[in-house]
Amino acid sequence: MKKLLLAIALLAPAILFAQSPFDGTWKTDMDKTKFSPKPITFSVSNGMYDCTSCAPQINVKADGTDQPVTGQAYDTIAVKEVDPHSIQVVTKKGGKTTLEQTRSTSDDGKSLHVKSTSHPPDSAQPVMSEADLERIGKAPAGANSTSGSWKVKKVKEGENGLLDSYKGNGNELSWSNSTGGTWTAKMDGQDYPAKGVYGYDMVSLKQAGNNGIEVSFKRGGQLIEVDKMTLSPDGKTMTTVAESKLSGRVSTYVAHKQ
């Protein structure tokens, strides 16, 4: 889903129903996004990386080598402790890099800055993003200072990660983005394949009220996220409430018609 990677990288809004007011290009407004208040919790200590907020949880060696994981959108993760205040994280799928990330703390250890480069499948256009998080509770004793529980405060994302286009055709709706992601689905609740996207492989649509739609995302047959998307009365704004069925995180995104 669009779009954290350890739940920092955010899933962009996915779709709307097949009527002309929803056709066109929409840009996500990150300044109006309301991120889930649930903390992101991980630690790097004694040569190990533990992510307890990941779903499923991750527990691997933090020695910079690719470590196998299951149940994630990626199949290996490599975590390296750069210094006592920063770490590097790289995830791969089928041997191809999907995410490169650095996490570093402020001098007082109360804030975390995350820089990410996502690599969508079959795309030459990486998506750059930066996130700022604030510490919740005390830092673990003896661990890298990036360790602990964090709350997302602000995310900035590259232009190519914010734009989504939709086109209706009868009871079908097609979606695409600038990095090559695409799918076409009918408004019948059935699963349809997605191509060139990171994190899910099937999508299904059903109407939700007079001006909304519910979008379900699956990976490997497992339901991973449900987005409830609503169009404003003037047709210029879309609001998406995205619920991760894996982590229970719920965030709200706002997009404006271009």
pLDDT tens-digit map of 187-231? 999 999 999 998 999 999 998 887 888 999 999 999 999 999 999
- Give the pLDDT confidence score for residue 61 in this predicted structure: 98
Q: Kindly state whether residue 6 falls inside one of the protein's structural domains.
A: no
- Give the pLDDT confidence score for residue 138 in this predicted structure: 86
Q: How confident is the model at residue 125 (pLDDT cuts 50, 70, 90)?
A: confident
Bridge partners, 34 (sequence order): 252
94: left (phi over 0), alpha (psi -120 to 50) or beta: left
Least confidently predicted of 15-24, 215-224, 247-256: 15-24
Q: Specify whether 241 is located in the same domain as 220.
A: yes
Q: Specify whether 166 is located in the same domain as 108.
A: no
Q: How many domains does the chain have?
A: 2
H/E segment holding residue 97: strand 96-105
H/E segment holding residue 245: none
Q: Specify whether 45 is located in the same domain as 144.
A: yes
Q: Specify whether 27 is located in the same domain as 57.
A: no
Q: Which domain holds residue 52?
A: 40-157
Question: What predicted TM-score, i.e. pTM, was given to this entire model?
Answer: 0.88
Q: Kindly state whether residue 2 falls inside one of the protein's structural domains.
A: no
CA separation for the pair 21, 37 (Å, rounded): 32
Least confidently predicted of 7-16, 44-53, 186-195, 220-229: 7-16
* pLDDT at 152 exceeding the cut of 60: yes
Q: Kindly state whether residue 15 falls inside one of the protein's structural domains.
A: no
Q: Kindly state whether residue 186 falls inside one of the protein's structural domains.
A: yes
* pLDDT at 10 exceeding the cut of 80: no
